[in-house]
Amino acid sequence: MNGVAPGKPAQWVDLHAHSTASDGALSPAAMVGAAHRLGLAALALTDHDSVGGLPEAQSAARALGIRVVSGVELSAYEGAREIHILGLHLASLAEIEQHLTTLRHVRRTRAERIVERLATLKAPVALDRVLAIAGPGAIGRPHIAQALMEAGHVKDRREAFDRFLGAGRPAFFAKHRLTIAQAIEMIHQAGGLAILAHPGSRGTRERVQQFVSAGGDGLEVRHPGHTTEDAARLAALVEHFRVVPSGGSDCHGASEGPRALGSMHVPGEWLDRQEARARERAARGMVA
């Protein structure tokens, strides 16, 4: 059951990936090149709080004849719990960019607070080094984890999150507190579809119902963090709530492992369903 009609060549897509515009290891053009080499028909670039990689990705895609879907990954809060929402098929980047600038500013302030806290925890890292590792991208905890490794305070990223940076750990600080409704509204204003990212075992009927009631358009069904049961439940909830399916590797640049690009085998038909919904939404917007 992969959604590909008999006799039609399989078309695979990957609708969740990160570049150096946030915490990925590869440039936007390198991600597009990798997707092309894998034979993917389309790649969605979904950097955290940034659409800054999209112009480079789009121009690389034009040269190679692959499609790039304009995306972003937002963090929203439900009480203290953080959930991620993908914005896919963004039509107006200028519209969303002003909000994202604010979110990235908060990330920068948060990185400063984390660095100050690490100093009091006897694991000092230089803010300048963290900023250099992040480069032009949205600063995140993976960049700080890298600085902690370089400084010899931890042996790997996992230890950095387990001891310092993970939720509830001593150097943890939340990001900008967007509500789910605000994140969805931001995505809709930019002409995109709001997709609940990697809900996993928390993607219960009740939570999905709340997301759909708040205006959500779809669910990430295939993701490396999902069990087979998660994927089956989410696929059923997509049909029940008449929303659209999505899926992707959440690749941050690794060419091997569960998050390698293309690893989720997402059928191109899912992208077709998303595009039909984006068109409907745009048409409704015009008569409203």
Which residues bind to ligand AMP, rule: CB under 6 A? 23, 48, 140-142, 157-158, 161, 166, 175, 252
From the list 14, 23, 47, 230, which residue makes contact with Zn ion (rule: CB under 5 A)? 23
In the chain, what are the helix, strand and coil shares in percent, each to the nearest 5? 45, 15, 40
Render 114-140 in DSSP notation, one character per residue. Answer: HHHHHHHTT----HHHHHHHHTTSPP-
Answer whether 40's CB lies under 8 Å from 31's CB: no
Between 23 and 217, CB nearer to Zn ion: 23
Please tell me what DSSP assigns to residue 25.
S
As a three-state string, the secondary structure of 137-156 is CCCCHHHHHHHHHHCCCCCC
Among the listed residues 23, 49, 217, 250, the single contact to Fe ion using CB under 5 A: 250
* Least Å from the CB of residue 18 to Zn ion: 5
Residue closer to Zn ion, measured from CB, 253 or 262: 253
Q: Does 220 bind Zn ion (CB under 5 A)?
A: no
Q: Edge-to-edge strands of the sheet including 193-196?
A: 244-247, 218-222, 193-196, 81-88, 67-78, 42-45, 12-14, 266-267
The residue range among 21-29, 31-39, 194-202, 264-272 that interacts with Zn ion, by the rule CB under 5 A, is 21-29
Alpha-carbon gap, residue 273 to 154, rounded angstroms: 45
- Give the count of residues interacting with Fe ion (CB under 5 A): 4
Q: Does 84 bind Fe ion (CB under 5 A)?
A: yes
- Which of 31, 238 has the CB closer to Zn ion? 31
Q: Please identify, using beta-carbon distances, which residue of 140 and 262 lies nearer to ligand AMP.
A: 140
Least distance to Zn ion from the beta carbon of 23, Å?
A: 4
Shortest distance (Å) from residue 67 CB to Zn ion: 22
Name the minimum Å distance from CB 180 to Zn ion: 19
| Burial 68-91, CB ≥16 within 10 A → b, else e | bbbbbbbbbbeeeeebbbbbbbbe
Q: From the list ligand AMP, Zn ion, Fe ion, none, pick the one residue 166 interacts with, judged by a Cβ distance below 5 to 8 Å according to partner type.
A: ligand AMP
Nearest-approach distance from CB 263 to ligand AMP, in angstroms: 16
CA-closest candidate to residue 141, choices 158, 161, 159, 112: 161
Any contact of residue 14 with Fe ion (CB under 5 A)?
no
**Closest approach of ligand AMP to the CB of residue 156, in Å:** 9
Q: How far apart are CA 256 and CA 234, in angstroms?
A: 26
Q: What is the dihedral of CA 49, 19, 92, 106, to 10 degrees?
A: 20
Q: Which stretch binds Fe ion (CB under 5 A): 82-90, 139-147, 204-212, 216-224?
A: 82-90
Minimum distance from residue 143 beta carbon to ligand AMP (Å): 8
* Tokens linked to 56: 């480079």
* Assigned token pair, 78: 């439900």
Which positions from 163 through 202 interact with Zn ion, judged by CB under 5 A?
Answer: none
In the complex, which residues of this chain contact Fe ion (CB under 5 A)? 73, 84, 197, 250
In the complex, which residues of this chain contact Zn ion (CB under 5 A)? 23
